């Protein structure tokens, strides 16, 4: 059975999720010099999935919850990155059924795979490559069509996944449920788990200039706007500080 790459990210995040709600962001060697030239950022359609976990440990994607969560994520990101600072953030969504949309879907899948690699090799203690930490160099490859269509200096990729325990599962006095997946077993705590990855990508080269991952064990709910705002604030705090420093203004208040 084919499994989504989003599940692979959950598996990769499991190594840092235990007792770790926040991890340092990563930046490419050219981040500071490139940031000085970035004025516009296109927020590509975030991939947001909310699952309900049953008492038996299976998970079902909930479309209505996922759409609500996606709306909350977009609103929170727009608030955080445009409240202050020099960046102009705009939503960009390729026309449905177009060749550009197909390309974006391919690139989004690649981003999810690259995100998993970033987490495995620069965050997870047992599989970390020191060289990858010291010199963060990841790329999605050249993105000329997306860059031309978006007409921006950088692209913002966001992936978010939430796991909500059903009433029956919440009533069980258990600590974890094992979910089978392509690369092994993802351990989802009884209280659920929420994860966000985000990357600022050079629109022309496809290089990941900045990356961050946030993992929460039951402390956030993507269906709740206030909860999402808190999680997104943590995710983008460092980037907001970096961009605000270009104007001398303090970052937007949390």
pLDDT, residue 250, reads: 53
Q: Please state the φ and ψ torsions of residue 98, each to the nearest 5 degrees.
A: -85, 165
pLDDT beyond 50 at 18: no
The rounded mean pLDDT for the chain is 79
pTM of the model: 0.82
Beta-sheet pairing, 88-91 with 40-43: parallel
Q: Which residue, among 114, 111, 118, has the nearest Cα to 15 in the 3D structure?
A: 118
What number of H helices and E strands is found in the chain? Answer: 8, 10
Average pLDDT value for residue range 219-242: 89
More confident residue, 7 or 202: 202
Q: What confidence tier does 36 reach under pLDDT thresholds 50, 70, 90? A: confident
Q: Which residue, among 117, 134, 127, has the nearest Cα to 199 in the 3D structure?
A: 117
pLDDT, residue 23, reads: 63
Residues 182-220: pLDDT tens digits?
333 445 555 567 889 999 999 989 999 999 988 877 678
Q: What confidence tier does 179 reach under pLDDT thresholds 50, 70, 90? A: very low
pLDDT, residue 189, reads: 57
Q: Please state the φ and ψ torsions of residue 158, each to the nearest 5 degrees.
A: -135, 135
- Per-residue DSSP letter, 39: -
Average pLDDT value for residue range 75-98: 81
Q: What confidence tier does 180 reach under pLDDT thresholds 50, 70, 90? A: very low
More confident residue, 58 or 199: 199
pLDDT, residue 141, reads: 94
């Amino acid at each position: 059975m084919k499994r989504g790459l989003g599940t692979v990210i959950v598996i990769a995040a499991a190594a840092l999720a235990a007792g770790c709600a926040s991890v340092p962001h990563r930046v490419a060697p050219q981040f500071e010099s490139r940031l000085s030239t970035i004025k516009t950022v296109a927020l590509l359609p975030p991939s947001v999935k909310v699952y309900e976990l049953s008492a038996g440990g299976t998970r079902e994607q909930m479309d209505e919850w996922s759409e609500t969560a996606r709306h909350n994520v977009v609103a929170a990101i727009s608030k955080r990155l445009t409240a202050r600072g020099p960046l102009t953030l705009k939503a960009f969504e390729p026309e449905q059924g177009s060749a550009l949309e197909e390309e974006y879907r391919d690139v989004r899948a690649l981003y999810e795979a690259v995100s998993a690699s970033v987490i495995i090799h620069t965050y997870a203690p047992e599989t970390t490559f020191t060289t990858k930490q010291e010199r963060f160099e990841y790329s999605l490859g050249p993105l000329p069509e997306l860059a031309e269509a978006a007409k921006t200096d950088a692209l913002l990729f966001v992936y978010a996944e939430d796991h909500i325990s059903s009433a029956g599962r919440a009533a069980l006095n258990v600590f974890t449920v094992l979910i089978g997946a392509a690369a092994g077993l993802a351990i989802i705590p009884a209280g659920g788990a929420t994860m966000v990855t985000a990357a600022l990508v050079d629109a022309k080269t496809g290089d990941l200039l900045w990356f961050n991952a946030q993992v929460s064990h039951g402390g956030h709910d993507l269906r709740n706007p206030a909860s999402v705002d808190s999680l997104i604030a943590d995710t983008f705090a460092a980037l907001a500080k970096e961009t605000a420093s270009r104007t001398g203004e303090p970052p937007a208040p949390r």
